[in-house]
Amino acid sequence: MQHLPSKSNIRAAEQYCLSLLQLCNSLPKLLQFQSHIIKSGLQNNPLLLTKFTSISSNYNAVSHASSFIFSPYVEPRFFDAFLFNTIIRSYAFTSEFKVDGLFFYCKMLRYGIWPNKFTYPFVLKAVAGLGELKLGETVHGSVVKFGFDDDSHVLNTLVHMYCCCNGGVEYARKVFDEMPKWDSVGWSAMIGGYVRWGLASEGVRLFREMQVVGVEPDEVTMVCLLSACIDLGALELGKWLEGYIKRKNVRKSVVLWNALIDMFAKCGDVDKALSLFRSMSERNIVSWTSVIDGMAMHGRGTEAVSLFEEMKKDRVVPDDVSFIGLLTACSHSALVEQGKGYFHSMTKEFGISPKIEHYGCMVDLLCRAGLVQEALDFVQRMPIKPNPVIWRTLITACRAHGELKLGEKITKEVIKHEPTHDSNYVLLSNIYAKMFSWEKKIMIREVMAKKGMRKVPGSTMIELASEIFEFVSGDKSHSEYKIIHQMVDDIGKEIRRAGFVASTSEVLLDLDEEDKEGAVNRHSEKLAIAFALMKTPPGTPIRIVKNLRVCEDCHSATKFISKTYQREILVRDRNRFHRFIDGVCSCKDFW
């Protein structure tokens, strides 16, 4: 007669297996352990299966673990919620198998195992990674059905999930507003959601509500808010947040340090960013990349190169993102030969295969330097297919350097492959304007109108007295627009007396010169600068953020304004920073 093992023997075998499992530090050892489980007759032990799954996920082997668990070796009657939660969690934290987490959630329900309050945060994390709003609503319905819609952890994850789905921010806010109790996690999720979808002002407004109700922000909240400052170009708010972090003793992790560096660099105070970087006791690759990127945006290419070399001496191995910042720095500072050298060093010295972004940086480098033919040859020799961004960079260079026929040819080809992308038609329209081919330009405008396309309007933001003001080209929405427009006219008279001549070559309409000058005179950055001159004391620096590349006329006018009115003017456009002091721009007219 066969004797069944005693409970004490089973317990001892279980403990022995658990101790062995802790020693598994590679996939081969995990496979050996799996065989040991079967030989020991413990393949139906839920605790061992759960621990096995958890450790398997550390070695990207969760698929293997789940295939073993749902094999004939294991009896389903031993499954429990804890095991399924671990499987779902493991898949939710992968980059490419999140949908499998939802598959096992459905399998859990089919097996008649009820989810608990720990199940849904993992399921919702998987949905958040997929960004599927309809799927999120379905899971939300299950949360309500099983009665977990009053659990703060589940509700916080619901807010985060909706914030990760396109069109889900309003759903997230509804969940947030109806929460019975708020904590810093929920506030951070909602603020982060606003920032993620370009609603930075809403995020800042919500933070102010958070202060009113007395909830203390944590490190995550601060990182979200610093990101909002970058979107808004709100340096003063960023400075206040830095002071708040010090006053409230918010834990200053490397992530928060990096966010502060990034904020100061992208809001215009790159020297402060560098100072913070130098004061860090612990740095990672993101710290170095942030400060190199900052120098690149400000046209301080030589300093960016110096920091990159310092990083190598510090034995920090650059990654592909570091090289994007470095090559951008070379591009914005006309360091053509150094840029070429660093591009080749990616593969030769560091074994990094260039991605499309790196090829794009090289095309930009050559185009900015006026080497249009060399840029075209480079594109034609690329081992990967050029994307539309690279072609548009070439087209812009063709227009800027007089290669108009080549630019026209390339643009027509791009339109064949991207017939619904409005910027391609705008580029072609710009080229025809430069060629004075008004009939062709009008034809392009008519095509755009038929397709319902419109050029993205220029807009500029400025932070004054803790408030963000936004101006759009030709804007009349501001309550003081008449006074602002009069100020623009007065500025125009002053700078013309100082020698300024309007550049109307970028105006796309077939107007006479006087009308063209009026058109460029109402560009959004001029409205913002006029407003700042009205509202700030003499000598106060002016900082503005433009959503598009600053045009030639506004660039020239701002140089004259900085000298005539004795103001330092910092402009962040789509590509870089321009610091205007006494009639000179930091970009050295190379942008």
For 408-477, the DSSP string reads HHHHHHHHHH-TT-HHHHHHHHHHHHHTT-HHHHHHHHHHHHHTT--PPPPEEEEEETTEEEEEETT---
Summarize the confidence of residues 87-108 as an average pLDDT. Answer: 94
Question: Tell me: the pLDDT tens digits for 230-275?
Answer: 999 999 999 999 999 999 888 889 999 999 999 999 999 999 999 9
Mean pLDDT check: name the lowest of 73-77, 89-93, 248-252. 73-77
Please identify which residue in the block is written with the tokens 């909706």.
Answer: 162
Under the banding of pLDDT at 50, 70 and 90, the label for residue 85 is: very high
> What is residue 76's predicted lDDT score, i.e. its pLDDT?
82
Q: Could you say which DSSP state residue 319 is in?
A: -
Exposed, middle or buried by CB within 10 Å (0-12, 13-18, 19+), for 348? exposed
Under the banding of pLDDT at 50, 70 and 90, the label for residue 280 is: very high
Check pLDDT > 60 for residue 160.
yes
Under the banding of pLDDT at 50, 70 and 90, the label for residue 423 is: confident
Question: Tell me: the pLDDT tens digits for 185-232?
Answer: 999 999 999 999 999 999 999 999 999 999 999 999 999 999 999 999
Helix or strand run (H / E) with residue 542? strand 542-546
Bridge partners (DSSP) of residue 469 are 462
Check pLDDT > 70 for residue 426.
yes
Is residue 266 a contact partner of residue 200, using CB atoms and an 8 Å limit? Answer: no
Is residue 238 a contact partner of residue 229, using CB atoms and an 8 Å limit? Answer: yes
- Indicate the average pLDDT of the chain: 90
- Name which residue leads in pLDDT, 552 or 127: 127
587 vs 577: CA distance, rounded Å: 8
